Each structure stands twice: as structure tokens, then as C-alpha cells.
Amino acid sequence: MQLAPPDPSILARRDRIIADLQRLLPGAIVHEPAGLATYDSDALSAYRQRPLACALPANKDEVSTLLAYAAEQNLPVVPRGAGTSLSGGALPRPDGIVIGLARMNRILEIDLENRCAVVEPGVTNLAVTRAVEGDGFYYAPDPSSQVACTIGGNVAENSGGLHCLKYGITTNNLLGVELALPGGERVRLGGKALALGGLDLLGIVTGSEGLLGIAVEATLRLRPRPPVTRTLLVAFDTVAAAGRCVADIIGAGIIPAAMEFMDRRAADAVESYCAPGYPQHAEAILIIELDGVEGEVRDGVARVEHIAGTCGASLVRLAANEAERARIWAGRKAAFAATGKIAPDMLCMDGTIPRRALSDMLAAIAAMSARYGLAFCNVFHAGDGNLHPLILFDAMREGELARAEAFGAEILTLCVKMGGVLSGEHGIGVEKRDLMGAMFDEEDLAQQQRLKCAIDPKRLLNPDKVFPTLSACVEQGHMHVSGGRLPFANLPRF
Ligand SMILES: Cc1cc2nc3c(=O)[nH]c(=O)nc-3n(C[C@H](O)[C@H](O)[C@H](O)COP(=O)(O)OP(=O)(O)OC[C@H]3O[C@@H](n4cnc5c(N)ncnc54)[C@H](O)[C@@H]3O)c2cc1C
């Protein structure tokens, strides 16, 4: 993966830029090497670059001030929440600034009548649920990183999580966003009231990976906590049987709140990491959760137990109480971290496939593993076909990182060939940028780039991410569409 070289004219102005930023946001600029080290990379730590400076605004006006300055100086800008992106979305540029949103972490309003919360972008995902659970509500998308990752990052990545099979991902739970555009102007997209008609601009911005603007406020849908939740742990002697069980449950019309898969290597690593009580010696386990009212859940559990039996499950265990249920989920949420027990380094893939292709895909990954000489384990959101093969390697060994990346690229390319896509929830970032050609032809990519360039004609926001190049915008004269204001021209401004 090659990133554009830094602009020497910006590097030459470094001291002046830092002085300007300190004047604009006194006490909120990080520029010393020790402080900047924190911002060198995100959770895709194989890629690192030190930014020119990092600005930590405390409110939306300060975000606008920074964006106006960046536009005036032609400075690249990388928005950053908690830096948990697994696709390198928050990787900085040496000739650009990072705008870190973590200080903007206030919950501005909880409106239970309208079942929504209005929050700043630096609020963590889990903090939203914590703030409303006493009233019987919660925020549904729950990435495993929810204790750290921010709502701004969730919006930018259109993040999913463990319980998205039934309740949807971020886009299904986001009612509105206030967006600071390149140049600093702010627009509101959506909000508490039902807004139909016109282009779905909120849909375009959700998952746009910080390329179109900075989310400075978000209005989130709150859901009432279902009265009953039951969790089953189901073990199988073969991965194929577990795959068949997933397909049969969905095929029977049952929509569990969550249905998660772990293969033996992953389950063993988790067991030795935090001992959640997973069955030993199973080749695959499923965690299946059903929620709703008592009768509905009781009926669902009985049907799932029956289907698991017909698929040859070696164990079906219903969590006896809330403590056991919490333990089962704590294990699943720790799965990525637990790989540290079995390998020094790990690359987490994030492709999707149609559910019926699951068994074929798992067999193909095993064959690739033998060919690349690298071990892997599988943890994924089985219900919606979102795979997270974890490739295990040692970056200190010559050539292993390159081999791991090639292995990952082959998995993702196969996902696309099987009818899936490159990313289910982690975004494209820099990680999958150069694979976009496997999913989109040149004209598709050019159309997407035209949208980017219409809103950000100077291409200052999160450059290097998502698109292999932005050549279509330059070659076809789309760099100057309406001064970058066309798509948002009629929206309220601040
Ligand atoms: C252990 C672990 C488990 C994970 N599990 C899941 C999971 O289950 N599901 C899932 O979907 N993801 C998961 N992730 C990935 C990651 O947590 C999500 O992508 C998350 O949404 C990133 O949030 P963040 O605040 O850390 O954003 P960052 O990493 O800081 O940034 C991510 C992207 O968002 C942009 N961005 C950040 N804030 C803003 C903003 N306010 N406005 C515009 N752009 C912005 C950045 O430029 C970057 O492109 C996991 C990561 C880890 C490390």
C-alpha cells in the first residue's frame, strides 16, 4: 500500500502552522513528538505515520474554526475518535493535522418521548446505553470495542456489532447528524422528526469514513430493552455443521438478536484468556441470543434447540442466569484481544458473504492458511454473514506481515467472488483501499469519487483513504463542482 508523499511546502511551514493553531485553540494543540506518538496509528498498527499536529477541539465551533483554517492553508485533515479503527481510517498524514474529537464527549439530551439521545461525537458507544439503561432503554449497535470507540467513529464507519442481526447497524439507528463540512460550514441532516423526501444525505454520510465532513453531533435512536433475553451456547464437532445450523435457523424464519461463531482455536484462546466457560474440544461454537416477550423467546429457544439437534450439535446449553450470560458475552467481546495468547500479531479481516456460502468459505480459508504457512482463527457475526478471520503472524519475522496481508487480500477477494463485499463493518480505510477494484469497476469508482470531490473539492478530508486514486475527479474536471457545495446547498446552516 502506497500513500501519497507529503507536501514539502506544508512541511516547510510546520512551525508557522503550529503557532497559528495554538493561537486559534490555545492549550488544545499537541505537537511534541512524545504527545503525537499516540496519534501515529489506529488499531491497524501495521501502518504508522506521525501527524504534523493534533488539535483537540472542545466544541463544534472550534471544529469549524479548524476546518476553515485547514481549507485556507490547504492542510489535509484526519478526523479521529478513539482510534480503534481496524482499517487504518484514522491513520494520519505527516503533512496534515489530526482533529481528535474525544474531548467532545457530552450527552446533550435524552429524549425518551421521542426515543432518542443527542450526543457529541466523542461520547463512547457504551456511554449511551449506560445513560439510559436505568429507564429501560439502550442503544442497539454494540461493537466489541464499545467501551472505547466513539459515536463519531461509529457514524463514520457505519459500525455494527454483536446484536446487529435483529436491530441493524449504525445506519438503522442513526436519526440525524450535524456535519462540519470542509471549510467549516455546518449542516444538519435528519434529526428527531421523520424526514422523508429528497436525497438520502444522511445515508450518504453514514459510513463515509471521514471523507465528507466531521460529525459534530449525532441523534441516536433508543430502543426499549426487551423484557426477556436468553442466550444459548451450542457446540459442534465440525465447522460445516455449525454453518448449516446458522443457515437452518435463519431459513426457519427465526431472527435471533445475535448469532456469533467461533472456531476451536478462537474459543480455546478466549477460554485461556478470560475463562468464560466455553466447551472444550468443540470444533465450532455458536452463541445464539433470543429476545422479546416470554412466550416468544421460550418458543424460539425450543426451535433453535431442535434445529441444533438436527444439525448434530454435541452440546446445547442455555445460560442459567444473567451472570452466566454476561460471562459468555465477555468472552466473545475479548476474542480479538485473546489472540495475543497465541500469536504476537494479528490481522483482522472483515468481509461478508451470503450465508449459504459459509462452509465453502471456511474450507477455502483453511486451504489458504496451509498455502501461506500462517495460522488463523475465525470469529464472526454468523447471522449476517460478516466474517472476521483473524490471521496470526509475527511481524518480527521477515516477510510475515506481507504474507499475512496477501492472505487477507485473497480472503476478501474471494468474499466478493462469492457474492459478498469487502467490508461488513470495519470500513475500507487504507487497509482495503487497493482492493476496491475487485468490487467496483472504474466507472463505479469514478461516480463515488465525484461525490467526494463535489463536497471536498480540495480533497483535504481524510485523503489516501477508501479510493485507490482520486484521478476521476481531476481528469474529468469534477474538482470544482459548485465550490464543493452542491449536495448540501439547501440545508440549514450555522
Ligand atoms: C477490539 C476491537 C473490536 C472491534 N469490534 C468491532 C465490532 O464488533 N463492530 C464494528 O463495527 N467495529 C469494531 N471495531 C472497529 C472500531 O471499533 C469501529 O470502527 C469504531 O466505530 C471506530 O470508532 P473510533 O471512535 O475508534 O474511530 P477512529 O478509529 O478514531 O476513526 C475511525 C474512522 O472514523 C473517522 N472519524 C472518527 N470520528 C469522526 C467524526 N466525528 N466525524 C467524521 N469522521 C470521523 C476517522 O477519520 C476514521 O476514518 C473493533 C475494533 C477493535 C480494536
Query: Residue 258 belongs to a domain with what CATH number?
Result: 3.30.70.2190
Confirm or reject: Cβ of 84 under 6 Å from ligand 1.
yes
Say if residue 266 is in the same domain as residue 282: yes
Say if residue 211 is in the same domain as residue 141: yes
End residue of a domain, out of 181, 200, 224: 224
CA–CA distance, 182 with 191 (Å, rounded to integer): 21
The DSSP secondary structure of 327-348, one letter per residue, reads HHHHHHHTHHHHGGGT-SEEEE
Kind plus residue range of the DSSP H or E element containing 451: helix 442-455
CA–CA distance, 281 with 275 (Å, rounded to integer): 14
Mean pLDDT of 88-98: 97
Confirm or reject: Cβ of 144 under 6 Å from ligand 1.
yes
Residue 246 in domain: yes
State the pairing for strand pair 258-263/284-292. antiparallel
Question: Any idea what the CATH number is for the domain that residue 209 is in?
Answer: 3.30.465.10
Whole-number pLDDT of residue 489: 41
Domain count, the chain: 5
Whole-number pLDDT of residue 470: 61
Residue 28 in domain: yes
pLDDT tens per residue, range 153-185 = 999 999 999 989 999 999 999 999 999 999 999
Say if residue 116 is in the same domain as residue 204: yes
157 Cα to the center of ligand 1, angstroms: 6
Residue 3 in domain: no
**Could you tell me what percent of the chain has a pLDDT over 70?**
95
- Residue 490: is its pLDDT beyond 70? no
End residue of a domain, out of 224, 252, 286: 224
Confirm or reject: Cβ of 122 under 6 Å from ligand 1.
no
Mean pLDDT of 59-76: 98
Other beta carbons within 10 angstroms of residue 133's beta carbon come to 12
Tell me the pLDDT of the chain averaged across its residues: 92
377 Cα to the center of ligand 1, angstroms: 22
Question: Any idea what the CATH number is for the domain that residue 405 is in?
Answer: 3.30.70.2740
- Residue 280: is its pLDDT beyond 90? no
- Residue 190: is its pLDDT beyond 70? yes
Say if residue 112 is in the same domain as residue 218: yes
155 Cα to the center of ligand 1, angstroms: 8
Say if residue 14 is in the same domain as residue 70: yes
Residue 493 in domain: no
Mean pLDDT of 248-259: 95
Question: Any idea what the CATH number is for the domain that residue 67 is in?
Answer: 3.30.43.10
Residue 148 in domain: yes
Say if residue 458 is in the same domain as residue 370: no
Say if residue 265 is in the same domain as residue 217: no
Pick the closest to residue 453 from 422, 431, 476, 429 (CA basis): 476
- Residue 480: is its pLDDT beyond 80? no
- Residue 493: is its pLDDT beyond 90? no
Say if residue 262 is in the same domain as residue 188: no
pLDDT tens per residue, range 199-237 = 899 999 999 999 999 999 999 999 999 999 999 999 999
Say if residue 332 is in the same domain as residue 356: no
Residue 423 in domain: yes
Domain around 295 = 228-336
Say if residue 89 is in the same domain as residue 179: no
Mean pLDDT of 344-365: 90
Say if residue 207 is in the same domain as residue 299: no
Confirm or reject: Cβ of 400 under 6 Å from ligand 1.
no
Residue 64 in domain: yes
Whole-number pLDDT of residue 140: 97
185 contact partners, CB below 8 Å, separation of at least 6: 64, 493, 494
Residue 83 in domain: yes
Say if residue 218 is in the same domain as residue 234: no
For residue 435, the 8-state DSSP code is G
- Determine the atom of ligand 1 nearest the C-alpha atom of 43: 53
- Residue 482: is its pLDDT beyond 80? no
End residue of a domain, out of 205, 224, 243: 224
Mean pLDDT of 27-38: 96
Per-residue pLDDT band for 479 (boundaries 50, 70, 90) equals very low
pLDDT tens per residue, range 379-436 = 989 988 899 999 999 999 999 999 999 999 999 999 999 999 999 999 999 999 999 9
Confirm or reject: Cβ of 159 under 6 Å from ligand 1.
yes
CA–CA distance, 58 with 201 (Å, rounded to integer): 26
72 contact partners, CB below 8 Å, separation of at least 6: none
Tell which one of 45, 56, 59, 86 to mutate to probe ligand 1, the residue whose CB is within 8 A of the most ligand atoms.
86
